[in-house]
Structure formats: structure tokens, C-alpha cells
Amino acid sequence: MQSGPFNRFQQTLQLADANNPRTASRALLFALVSWLPLVALASAQGFAINEDPRQSLLMDFTVYARFLVAVPLFIIGESVASGRYSMIVDYLVRSGIVAGSERQDYDGLLSDIRRFQDSRMAELLLGVLAYAGAAFSVFRHAMFEQSAWLTPSAVGASPLSWAGAWYAAVSMPLFLFLFFRSVWSWFIWLLFLWRLSRLKLRLTPTHPDLAGGLNILSDSPYAIGVFVFAIGSVLSSVLTKRVVFDGASVVSFNTVFIAYLLLAVLISVGPLLVFAGKLNRLRLQGLRDYGALASQHAQLFDDKWIKKVGAIEGIEETPLGSPDMSSLADLNTNYETVKKIKLFPFGVRAIGVLAASALIPMAPLILMEFPLKEILKAIAGAVI
């Protein structure tokens, strides 16, 4: 994810290099480029603070969420995802899960993934979509929302303000481009997982991660969690604007909260479901193989120590310290491990992180309807 035309463009401008991505600096720079000129230009025309809060740029919550929260988080999230995905790709080879003849197919898969990531045509298309989305956003504001800082005069009758021009030409296209890049990277990750699931992987039923060695894939939702938080912040700002300026009730957005949470979980852990069939077959095969081995071992153990089959008369062998006891316990442990193999290479912890990433941005909105003081009083009343 550190490749591609956009990243090479940043390296040309010396904003980053191959050995030092300068993630924090780039995140701050993009945030300032998209937000600070808006404030300066709006102030120059008197649209930063207005008598009507609806028409004041500094009272537009969506501006803060998009350009001071989401834009830098997209840059940070790309770096986080790159580190996680690189670790997973390397682990699959070092662990021996991809080995033998499958290694060539795996190398071919990685080559295809790099080609998609480096596609100039794809990023050109994303840029076109970003400007088209920005134009639609401006049109919607001009026709329906009467945003004075964006379009100063009557609905649909006047050109953009200076801040509106920067919004349409730079700020909104940058936000949408980074958003579409994140979506494109997600599609590439989805393709990687699907093709990986088609390979003949060397999975071990007794692996302690209870997923045959694939539980490393449960790290991928953590990378996606940054993007979930970013988009959740924008969604929260839009709903907050409706509550403050239109008098909408927070409770009326319950369906939106639930839908966004479910969508966040689906796009994060949903791609991992492609391994369900492979892990189910691994579990069934493991139960058959280790069950048969456990049965044979138990029969031999029973013959030797319980029924005394083959014992020499007059010689009493003590089980204390016998390796037979240890091997029986080890085999039982292995069989229990096989029984607990998961159908999906992720756990409750990943779901919890995603839920937090989706819902934490909604906290300010919820506190508008249920003040923190009232919540703490209710908790104290229930406890004391």
C-alpha cells in the first residue's frame, strides 16, 4: 500500500520516501491544505462566522469531520494497513502455510496484487470519481441547503464563494479521493483473500491459534478499524448538524447507528468468511485422524495398564513417571484443540475493536440527547 502513482507523486514532492513514509507529517499537511484555506478565504469574505449559524463555515461540523479528522486518518490508516498486511503476507511464507508448489502460485498472486495497487488507470478513475463527487456535493448544497459560506446568494443563482471554490477544487476532491483509495485497497485485499483461499494451504489442525495457523488474518480488521472510525466521524457530524440545526432527535437515528455498525463489521470480517469451508474441512479431517489415533492409543494404554495384557508375572510395573501417561495427556490435549477449531479466523476481540471504531465517533451525538451528568447519575443510582 506504500506504492502506486499517488504515493510516488508524494515521494517526488519529497513528502515521503521508501524508508521513511513520514505518516504523521503527511497527515497534518493534508489536513491543513484541505481545511486552513477554507477558513482564510471564508474569513476574507465574512463567511467564517455569520449571524446565521447555519451559514457559518466555523459552525459547519462536517467541515471539521471531513478535513481535520477523516483526511489525516485516511493517511494514517493507509500506513497502519500497510504494516498489518505486509506482516500477514510474510507470515504465510515463514510459517510454512504456503510452501512447495503453491509458493509459485502465491508469488503470482502477489504480483497481480502489486499490479492492481500500482495501476495508473485505477487511480485516474478514482480522481475522476472524486471530482465528480465534489461537483455533486456543491450542487446539492447550492440547490437544497443554501450554505452561505459555499454559495453566498440565493439558491442556485450565484457562483461559489472563494471558500466554496477551494472546497470544490481541492478540499472535497482530496477527501473523496482518499476515501475511494481506501475502498479500492479494500477490494484488493478482498481479492487477495479470495485467491489465497483457493490455494492448497498447509494448515495444521493442532495449531494453538485454533484456526490451523490462519488466525493471523484476524489482524486485518484492526487496520480497517481506522477507516471505520474516520467515516463514522463524518457520519456523526452530518447527524449532529441535523440535530442542532433541524431539531432532529438522536433517538430517531437508532437505525442508522445499527446499520453502520453492521456494515463496519461486514466489510471488516466479512472477507475472512471465505476460509469457513477450508477450516470446516480441516476440523472434520482432524477429528477423524486424531480421533483414530487417540482411539488406538487409548486401547493400547488400556491393554497395558488396566487389563495388564502382556505383563510378565511377578513383575509389577508402576505407572509413576511412565511416558505413557504423558503421551496420553498430550494426545488428549491435541484432540481437544482440534475440537475447538474455529470456522472463521477472527474472534470476539476483533469484533469489539470494530464496534468501538464505529460507535465512539457517535459519542458526542449521543451525549447531546443524554448528557453525561445524567448518565453518571443513573449509573450511580443503580450501583449505590
Burial of 75 by CB count in 10 Å (0-12 exposed, 13-18 middle, 19+ buried)?
Answer: buried
> Measured in Å, how far apart are the chain's first and last C-alpha atoms?
52
Distance CA 173, CA 281 (A): 47
Distance CA 337, CA 35 (A): 53
Which DSSP state fits 343? S
**Residue-level pLDDT at 307:** 67
**Residue-level pLDDT at 331:** 79
**Residue-level pLDDT at 233:** 95
- Please, where are the H alpha helices in 198-275? 220-246, 254-269
What is the widest separation between alpha-carbon atoms in the chain?
Answer: 110
Residue-wise pLDDT tens digits, 267-308? 988 889 999 999 999 999 998 988 888 888 778 777 766 666
In the block, residue with C-alpha cell 487409548: 298
Give which of 123, 296, 68 is closest to 58, Cα–Cα: 68
Give Cα 345 to chain centroid, integer Å: 15
Across the range 250-265, mean pLDDT stands at 87
**Residue-level pLDDT at 22:** 85
What percent of the chain shows pLDDT beyond 90?
38
Across the range 232-256, mean pLDDT stands at 87
Across the range 25-42, mean pLDDT stands at 94
Across the range 223-252, mean pLDDT stands at 88
Give Cα 228 to chain centroid, integer Å: 6
What percent of the chain shows pLDDT beyond 70?
86
Contact 196, 325 (CB under 8 A): no
Question: For residues 177-212, b (16+ Cβ closer than 10 Å) or e, as one string?
Answer: bbbbbbebbbebbeebbebbbebebebbbebebbbb
Residue spans per domain, the chain? 5-274+349-383, 282-339
**Residue-level pLDDT at 305:** 64
Residue-wise pLDDT tens digits, 313-365? 555 555 555 666 677 777 788 888 888 888 888 878 888 888 889 889 988 88
Question: Which of 19-33, 171-185, 317-331 shows the lowest mean pLDDT across its residues?
Answer: 317-331
Task: Kindly tell me if the per-residue pLDDT of 238 is higher than 80.
Answer: yes
Distance CA 237, CA 53 (A): 15
Which of residues 165 and 140 earns the better pLDDT score? 165
Question: Which of 107-121, 149-163, 216-230 shows the lowest mean pLDDT across its residues?
Answer: 149-163
**Residue-level pLDDT at 155:** 43
In the block, residue with C-alpha cell 479500492: 184
Name the pTM for this structure: 0.86
Distance CA 118, CA 104 (A): 21
In the block, residue with C-alpha cell 467541515: 63
DSSP sequence for 54-97: GG-GGG-HHHHIIIIIIHHHHHHHHHHHHHHHHHHHHHHHHTSS
Q: What share of the chain is helix, strand, coil (3-state, %, to 5)?
A: 75, 0, 25
Across the range 248-255, mean pLDDT stands at 83
Secondary structure element (H or E) that encloses residue 251, with its range: none
**Residue-level pLDDT at 1:** 58
Across the range 19-45, mean pLDDT stands at 90
Distance CA 234, CA 339 (A): 44
**Residue-level pLDDT at 156:** 45
**Residue-level pLDDT at 187:** 93
**Residue-level pLDDT at 380:** 60
Residue-wise pLDDT tens digits, 55-106? 788 888 899 999 999 999 999 999 888 888 889 999 999 999 998 888 999 9
Rg (CA), the chain: 29
Task: Kindly tell me if the per-residue pLDDT of 35 is higher than 70.
Answer: yes
